[in-house]
Amino acid sequence: MDTQLLEQVRDFFAKDKFATDNGAVIEEFREGYSRCSIEIDERHLNAVGGVQGGVHYMLSDFAFAVATNWKECKTVSLHSDIAYLGTLKGKKMIAEANCVKNGRSTCYYRIDVKDELGNMLAVTNITGFHK
């Protein structure tokens, strides 16, 4: 991956303050794909010590945004759903967004959220609209 392009995309998405201020990092991207991660710390935990469900969703949504908008910001989410499948065993969450269908006006992405040990944590499905 082109390191200079990666830094330009990270600089652009630094404006996504909710995600980046909470620790989301862009690791990789290409047409129809992105991988973003977050190191889990105490601010991400709920009252019983598990990772707050919103962290899974925020990371999924951020990965979708990067995959669909790193060239040009023109895709927004129309609909999304998330299924929580397991609990974090490691210290890092990784979301991989993959394009399933990219049409003229809409797209559909599946985002798998895993920990760095490979344990599946959640699956998010997002339908986007190309503005």
- pLDDT for residue 18: 96
pLDDT of amino acid 37? 98
Stretch 19-46: mean pLDDT:
96
Q: Which pLDDT does position 25 carry in this prediction?
A: 98
Which superfamily is assigned to 3-130 in CATH? Hotdog Thioesterase (3.10.129.10)
pLDDT digits (tens, 9 = 90+) for 67-86: 999 888 799 999 999 999 99
- The residue-averaged pLDDT of 104-124 equals 97
- What is residue 1's predicted lDDT score, i.e. its pLDDT? 72
* Residue 114 clears pLDDT 80, i.e. is over it: yes
State the pLDDT confidence band at 45, using cuts at 50, 70 and 90: very high
Contact between 115 and 60 under an 8 Å Cβ cutoff? The reply is: no
Confidence at residue 71, expressed as pLDDT on a 0 to 100 scale? 86
Are 64 and 32 contacting, i.e. CB atoms less than 8 angstroms apart?
Answer: no
User: Which residues lie below 8 Å from residue 50, measured CB to CB, with a gap of 6+?
Assistant: 87, 88
Tokens representing 99 are 């394009």
Give Cβ neighbours of residue 7 (< 8 Å, ≥ 6 apart). Answer: none
Ordered by start, the domain boundaries in the chain are 3-130
Query: What's the pLDDT at 64?
Result: 98
Separation in Å, CA 95 to CA 23, 48, 110, 121: 13, 23, 10, 10
